[in-house]
Amino acid sequence: MTSADGLTSVEVAPDLLAKILSPYQLHCRYLKRASVEYPSEARTVRSVSAKGVAAIRGELSIGESCYRKQSGSFNSVEFNLCYNQLIYQLLAQCIVDARLPVFSAWTLPEYQRRQLPDVLIHDFACTFGARLNPERFEGVVTITQALDKRRFVYIKTSSTFRDPFGGSADGEVSLVIVDSTRSAPRGATHPMK
């Protein structure tokens, strides 16, 4: 569906959400629902550098922490886990919808095979505003740049998390997607699972 602001919105199907979250323990599947937005105009070039190439907006809830004891607040580990679930889902939806030129030759099964070993965090920064309630909040991850570098795909993102009570956290994360049969770029680390 295309809105007045020139964005096309796609609701993420529950079965796709379940497939992409399947690597996580059941109690660590924080992403409950999501929709993806794309600019309405088609992108046909191999590398895209524009604000808002694609974005995912998701409802999240941390009912049970990954810690043995509840921390009582949304921290950097939970930020990273929630970010990972959103970006994994966003990339999958972009592949399903054939909306990101850097993935034009990819299939969903190939992406699922490469989701954990090949999607690496290159740079990660997050800041926290007011304490965010982990029981119910919204997250948005926007791909701001997607470049095909031949040996790897480089993706730059921004992210925000907000709760209904004014809690907030923001981040800037860049990723590289490599072929695990080759060596990863220096300095890249695997996202937390």
Quick one: CA dihedral 162, 28, 31, 117, positive or negative? Answer: positive
Residue 159: which H helix or E strand, with range?
Answer: strand 153-162
Domain boundaries defined on the chain: 7-177
Distance CA 37, CA 58 (A): 11
Per-residue pLDDT tens digits of the chain, which is 193 residues long: 545 467 889 999 999 999 999 999 998 999 999 999 998 765 433 444 445 789 999 999 998 766 655 556 788 889 999 999 999 999 999 999 998 889 988 999 999 999 999 999 999 999 999 999 889 999 999 999 999 988 899 999 999 999 999 999 999 999 999 976 554 445 555 543 3
Q: How many CB atoms lie within 10 A of CB 163?
A: 19
Residue 179 confidence (pLDDT):
79
| First and final C-alpha spacing in the chain | 32
The CA-atom distances, in angstroms, between 103 and each of 56, 57, 74, 107, 143 are 17, 21, 32, 8, 13
Q: What is the pairing mode between strands 31-39 and 48-60? A: antiparallel
Query: Are the C-beta atoms of 90 and 134 separated by less than 8 Å?
Result: no
Name the DSSP class of 30. Answer: -
Distance CA 176, CA 103 (A): 13
| CA 123, chain centre distance (Å) | 14
Residue 83: which H helix or E strand, with range?
Answer: helix 76-96
Distance CA 165, CA 176 (A): 34
Residue 56: partners with Cβ closer than 8 Å, 6 or more residues away: 12, 34, 35, 36, 37, 86, 87, 89, 90, 93, 140, 141
Which of helix, strand or coil describes residue 102?
helix
Residue 70 confidence (pLDDT):
59
Residue 43 confidence (pLDDT):
45
Mean pLDDT across the chain, nearest whole number? 85
Residue 28: partners with Cβ closer than 8 Å, 6 or more residues away: 64, 66, 81
**Domain 7-177, CATH homologous superfamily name and number:** Rv0098, thioesterase-like hot dog domain (3.10.129.30)
